[in-house]
């Protein structure tokens, strides 16, 4: 197939509307109603993280080539699937976006800033990926609603995959954590994922084959000195995964959780 992006011929052609730009935030029209939509896998950094991080994956290059070749011959494909990955402009989220798009999915992502993400979109377009993005601060409830509204229109009401990846940490001893620290970490890591699941549910259900993936942490299972607020937020994500797996199975929506160990990303490097 011709590749209008001129990128990797193994990748997908771009949609015609792609313009390398993160969509600015669009307020909801007056009176608009939002569309009314386990397992926990502990992982050391693996193949999907390899492209963006300096951590050596427990795979040889031969394994990666084999994975790529399995994708190309169509036995493992996300062609025709739609995905929303939060926080896909850096670190683990960036790798997830590339992996899903490389397997053929059409992906939407978001971050709080615009300039760096626009550069990501340019790079992705060169590779022939079908990826779009929005500016969204996930701490804000109205901005989450705007994000899902944008995804609703972009994907014509159907979302196959929701990856709740965006996360943050303010690493402090328990006694030193302020009320603001607690609210900020919980809003970013837990409340935003919970709310996005709630408002994305109709889109996931409409897809007929929905999948929610939470990015938790080993710190949600064990104490890893990442700070008790962070670890509590990730422990709650692990339980949320199990609750949704049972509650939404009837809607054909799976719920899984990936709990990474330390991975060299901007989140870790800023400490």
Residues serving a catalytic function are: 230
Pairing, β 106-111 against β 131-135? parallel
Closest separation in Å from C-beta 129 to ligand NAP: 16
Q: Which residue has the tokens 């990666």?
A: 64
Closest separation in Å from C-beta 168 to ligand NAP: 5
Which range binds ligand NAP by CB under 6 A, 9-17, 66-74, 91-99, 244-252? 91-99
207 binds ligand NAP (CB under 6 A): no
Among 23, 151, 215, 244, binds ligand NAP (CB under 6 A): 215
225 binds ligand NAP (CB under 6 A): no
227 binds ligand NAP (CB under 6 A): no
202 binds ligand NAP (CB under 6 A): no
Q: Which residue has the tokens 């109205």?
A: 142
Among 81, 84, 103, 136, binds ligand NAP (CB under 6 A): 136
103 binds ligand NAP (CB under 6 A): no
267 binds ligand NAP (CB under 6 A): yes
235 binds ligand NAP (CB under 6 A): no
90 binds ligand NAP (CB under 6 A): yes
Among 134, 149, 217, 228, binds ligand NAP (CB under 6 A): 217
- Residue window 160-199: x/- pattern of binding to ligand NAP, with contact defined by CB under 6 A: -----xxxx-------------------x-----------
The SS3 assignment for 64 reads helix
55 binds ligand NAP (CB under 6 A): no
Among 22, 82, 84, 89, binds ligand NAP (CB under 6 A): 89
Degrees to nearest 5, angle at CA 255 with 264 and 262: 15
Among 98, 125, 137, 146, binds ligand NAP (CB under 6 A): 137
C-beta closer to ligand NAP: residue 139 or 177: 139
DSSP structure string for the chain: ---TT-S-TTSPPPPTT--S-EEPP-PPPTTPPPP---EEEEE-S-GGGTTT--SPPSS-HHHHHHHHHHHHTTSS--TT-EEEEETTTSHHHHHHHHHHHHTT-EEEEEES-SHHHHHHHHHHHHTT--EEEEE--TT-HHHHHHHHHHHHHHTTT--SEEEE---------GGG--HHHHHHHHIIIIIHHHHHHHHHHHHHHHHSSEEEEEE--GGGTS--SS-HHHHHHHHHHHHHHHHHHHHSGGGTEEEEEEEE----SHHHHT-
C-beta closer to ligand NAP: residue 200 or 206: 200
Q: Report yes or no: 70 and 122 within 8 Å, Cβ to Cβ.
A: no
Binding site for ligand NAP (CB under 6 A): 86-87, 89-93, 110-113, 136-139, 165-168, 188, 215, 217, 260, 262-263, 265-268
């Amino acid at each position: 197939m011709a590749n209008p992006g001129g990128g990797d011929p193994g990748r997908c052609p771009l949609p015609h509307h792609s313009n390398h730009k993160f969509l600015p935030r669009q307020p909801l029209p007056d009176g608009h109603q939002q569309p009314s939509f386990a397992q926990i896998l502990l992982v050391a950094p693996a193949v999907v993280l390899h492209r963006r991080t300096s951590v050596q994956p427990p795979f040889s290059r031969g394994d990666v080539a084999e994975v790529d070749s399995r994708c190309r011959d169509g036995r493992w494909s996300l062609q025709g699937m739609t995905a929303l990955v939060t926080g896909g402009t850096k670190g683990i989220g960036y790798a997830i976006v590339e992996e899903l798009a490389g397997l053929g999915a059409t992906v939407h992502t978001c971050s709080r800033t615009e300039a760096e993400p626009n550069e990501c979109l340019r790079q992705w377009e060169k590779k022939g990926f079908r990826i779009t993005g929005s500016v969204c601060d996930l701490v804000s409830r109205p901005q989450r609603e705007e994000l899902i509204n944008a995804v609703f229109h972009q994907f014509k009401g159907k979302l196959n995959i929701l990856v709740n990846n965006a996360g943050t940490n303010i690493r402090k001893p328990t006694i030193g954590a302020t009320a603001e620290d607690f609210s900020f970490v919980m809003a970013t890591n837990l409340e935003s994922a919970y709310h996005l699941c709630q408002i994305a549910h109709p889109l996931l259900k409409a897809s007929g084959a929905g999948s929610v993936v939470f990015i938790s942490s080993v710190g949600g299972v064990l104490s890893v000195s990442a700070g008790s607020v962070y670890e509590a937020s990730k422990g709650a994500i692990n339980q949320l995964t199990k609750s949704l797996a049972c509650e939404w199975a009837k809607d054909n929506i799976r719920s899984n959780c990936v709990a990474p160990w330390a991975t060299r990303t901007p989140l870790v490097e800023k400490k």
